[in-house]
Amino acid sequence: MIQFKTGLVALLFLISSTVLSQSLSGDNYATAKASGNGTVTFTYVETPGFVYKDESGKLTGVCVDIMNDFLQYVRQNHGINLNARFLGNGSSFSAMYNGVKNGKNGVFGLGNITVTEARKSEILFSPSFITNFAILVTHSSVPTLASMSEVPQKFKGFTAYTAKGTLNEKRINKLKSNYYPELEISYVSSSPDVLDKILADKKSLSYLDLAFYLSAVKERKPLKRHKVGDEGSEEFAFVMPKTSDWQPIIEEFFNANGGYKNTTEYKKILVDHLGLSAVKLLDSASE
């Protein structure tokens, strides 16, 4: 069995604050295969555990390590030495998403990117790399919901914070429509901003992806999970522009040798960046 180990290949990681409104591009597979070398572009949204900066300022996380293994697989099995460059500052989901959607060829998007049918009309997806679920959160001082029917009473006068263009925005709109039509919605630019608002405003609510919730709990932030509001499991994946010819190659990587997600290397990556308790919670989302 091929071993997917990180750190075996010298990868060129160039981190830039390039504005993502500019067209991103990278080498497509056919070009890289013909020459035996190439460069791919990674754009990303910072997500606790998945894509984040370590103490030295270097990008790391589940997504980064998996893509390192993917580049190693391409070298070993396709004879292509790939360099990877990171572009963008990681602060905005929409900037990352639009950077991929408007990009060309060898561009990959990394982060908490949910697979949806609507997005499939705009971008290409890799196989899922993890299962996620969204959590309804408030400040810890708010009484716990026993059922969603209590939303109009216990969340009366609350403001819902969310970021545009995300599935969590859709969840907030659904909560408003189904349970509390008077709910005020305020938009911020990112999930970290959502979390900051919830922690600062004791009369607020939102949906957070599990990774952000776990990070806040780990840091002992005053955040409360309302389990009755948990939204069902969804799949996170890497994304590529419609012009990319890398999709079959990354599918091959995930499917090789009994499946990448069954390897000890993959499971170690999850534990290293998310912790064992987080992995158990994530596993429960797929049951």
pLDDT surpasses 80 at 2:
no
CA 267 – CA 275 distance, rounded (Å): 11
Rg of the Cα atoms in the chain: 20
Q: Could you tell me if 256 and 174 are in contact, meaning their C-beta atoms sit under 8 angstroms apart?
A: no
Q: How confident is the model at residue 287 (pLDDT cuts 50, 70, 90)?
A: low
Average pLDDT over every residue of 262-287: 82
Query: On the CB side of 205, how many CA atoms lie within 13 Å of its CA?
Result: 26
Q: Which pLDDT score is estimated for 81?
A: 97
Q: Which pLDDT score is estimated for 84?
A: 96
Q: Could you tell me if 256 and 2 are in contact, meaning their C-beta atoms sit under 8 angstroms apart?
A: yes
| Strand pairing report for 159-163 and 204-209 | parallel
Higher pLDDT, 5 or 197: 197
Q: Which pLDDT score is estimated for 276?
A: 84
- The two three-digit tokens of residue 188, written as one number: 């911020």
**Digit-coded pLDDT (tens) for 19-56:** 444 589 999 999 999 999 999 999 999 998 999 999 99
Q: Which pLDDT score is estimated for 19?
A: 40
CA 18 – CA 41 distance, rounded (Å): 12
pLDDT surpasses 60 at 268:
yes
For residue 111, give the DSSP letter: S
**Digit-coded pLDDT (tens) for 104-159:** 999 999 998 999 999 999 999 999 999 888 999 999 999 999 999 999 999 999 99
Q: In whole angstroms, how far apart are CA 199 and each of 61, 140, 142, 254?
A: 25, 8, 11, 38
**Digit-coded pLDDT (tens) for 82-95:** 999 999 889 889 99
> Rounded to the nearest 5°, which phi and psi values hold at 112?
-85, 75
Could you tell me what percent of the chain has a pLDDT over 70?
Answer: 90
| DSSP element (H, E) containing 226 | none
Q: Which pLDDT score is estimated for 223?
A: 96
